[in-house]
Chain A
Amino acid sequence: MKCDQAFERLTEAQFTDDADLTRHLRECPRCRAMQQTLSPALKWMRESRHDVTEQDSPWHQPSAALLTEESVAVAVDIAQRLPRAGRNAVMRQALGFALVATFGIAFGVLVLGQHKEESPKAVLSASPLPKTMCLWTQRDGESPRQSAASVVDSCIACHVPAMIRN
């Protein structure tokens, strides 16, 4: 028995203890704690159910005045929605899965693509500029995107004296 099934059994209107549930409660501290927390409310709900049953008044023939156009319209509306509601729920779920899957794939492709574009290796290999060329003076030209290392190389080439460099 799983926790979900245990909850269903615990909240049955006409509760009867069984071996499966007892075993589950013995082995699952979470469900055991839940049962202890909910037990006063469960007791009240079940006992009140019997009270109300005993007080049920006998059936008397309804008067025609009770039937209104509005209530019939409600019944018709719900009758028409019930099947669609069932199908809609399945459709919505399927559509949800499809959307999430599509979005996930698209996102993955996008991220992987970007990652490829921005990888240092790709940038360096795409760079046609020599390491000693000053990127600052070339900033107006259409130079390809540079890696951080090539920018640093460029700065060193211009600003650090040759003797220190060597």
Chain B
Amino acid sequence: MRRTQAGNFSAFEELVRRYRGPLLRVAASKLGDQLAAEDLVQESLLAAFAARQTFNPQYAFRTWMWTILLRLCQKYRQRESRPIRAGGSIDPQRADGNAGTDPCGLAHLLQSERQDLLHQALAELPEAEADALRLRFFAGLKFEEIAVAMASSVSGAKQRVKHGLERLADRLPMLSGGES
């Protein structure tokens, strides 16, 4: 980030390459809409770039980036004021095409269904717990980083992850029909 602030913009491209995937995973899970997530991730990265001179490089860029994304996701949800669609949408054409021509089509569908179930279960959790789980597992953040991004204590972040996992462990077998 120091190099970007000094005018080396290709350094920011490196940051984009590094962070875009995890940011997208979290945004897609949180919004339940892949396209909106892509827009929001790009908006977050552009906003970070535009505000680069206000960032103090003594602090972790990672934490700043995640906090921007979470805040923009919240604002997007407020703006849209619509119920969260559980999971990413499955493109029927792609699914059909895969099923017909690709020997792994069924596996992809199952994977996609599994992912949808997880996102549905996450959407049913209290938002703070779901966000903490997303940041921990989809973004690979440390508990200290989750705490800063979510303005909580480290033990609070751990509690959120623990309680979220407990609820998921209860809920997922029901959603997937595994309890029968």
Taking the complex as formed, is B43 at the interface, i.e. its CB lies under 8 A from any CB of chain A? yes
Interface 0/1 of B157-169, CB less than 8 Å to A = 0100110011011
Taking the complex as formed, is A146 at the interface, i.e. its CB lies under 8 A from any CB of chain B? no
Choose among A14, A44, A85 the residue that contacts B168 (Cβ–Cβ < 8 A): A44
Give the docked Cα–Cα distance between A80 and B48 (Å).
12
Taking the complex as formed, is B85 at the interface, i.e. its CB lies under 8 A from any CB of chain A? no
Give the docked Cα–Cα distance between A67 and B120 (Å).
30
Chain A residues with CB under 8 Å of B2's CB are: none
Interface of A is mostly: helix
Give the docked Cα–Cα distance between A7 and B157 (Å).
12
Chain B residues with CB under 8 Å of A76's CB are: 51, 54
Chain A residues with CB under 8 Å of B59's CB are: 82-83, 86
Give the docked Cα–Cα distance between A82 and B60 (Å).
9
CB distance from A77 to the nearest CB of B (A): 8
Indicate whether A72 sits within 8 Å of B56 (C-beta atoms), given known contacts A48-B118, A62-B42: no
Interface 0/1 of B16-40, CB less than 8 Å to A = 1100110011001100001000110
Choose among A4, A37, A52, A72 the residue that contacts B138 (Cβ–Cβ < 8 A): A52
Tally of chain A residues near chain B (CB < 8 A): 45
Chain A residues with CB under 8 Å of B173's CB are: 40
Taking the complex as formed, is A119 at the interface, i.e. its CB lies under 8 A from any CB of chain B? no
Q: Pick the most buried of A38, A55, A71, A76: most chain B CB atoms within 10 A of its CB.
A: A71
Interface 0/1 of A48-61, CB less than 8 Å to B = 11011101110100
Do A66 and B39 touch across chains, with their CB atoms under 8 A apart?
yes
Chain A residues with CB under 8 Å of B72's CB are: 71, 74
Do B24 and A78 touch across chains, with their CB atoms under 8 A apart?
no
Do B54 and A42 touch across chains, with their CB atoms under 8 A apart?
no
Chain A residues with CB under 8 Å of B25's CB are: 49, 52-53, 56
Taking the complex as formed, is B100 at the interface, i.e. its CB lies under 8 A from any CB of chain A? no
Question: Footprint of B on A, CB under 8 Å?
Answer: 4, 7-8, 11-14, 34, 37-42, 44-49, 51-53, 55-57, 59, 62, 66-68, 70-72, 74-76, 78-80, 82-83, 85-86, 89
Shortest beta-carbon contacts, A-B, top 5? A75-B51, A41-B168, A71-B47, A62-B42, A75-B47
Question: Footprint of A on B, CB under 8 Å?
Answer: 16-17, 20-21, 24-25, 28-29, 34, 38-39, 42-48, 50-51, 54-56, 58-59, 63-64, 67-68, 71-72, 75, 88, 111-112, 114-115, 118-119, 121, 133, 136-140, 143, 148, 151, 153, 158, 161-162, 165-166, 168-169, 172-173
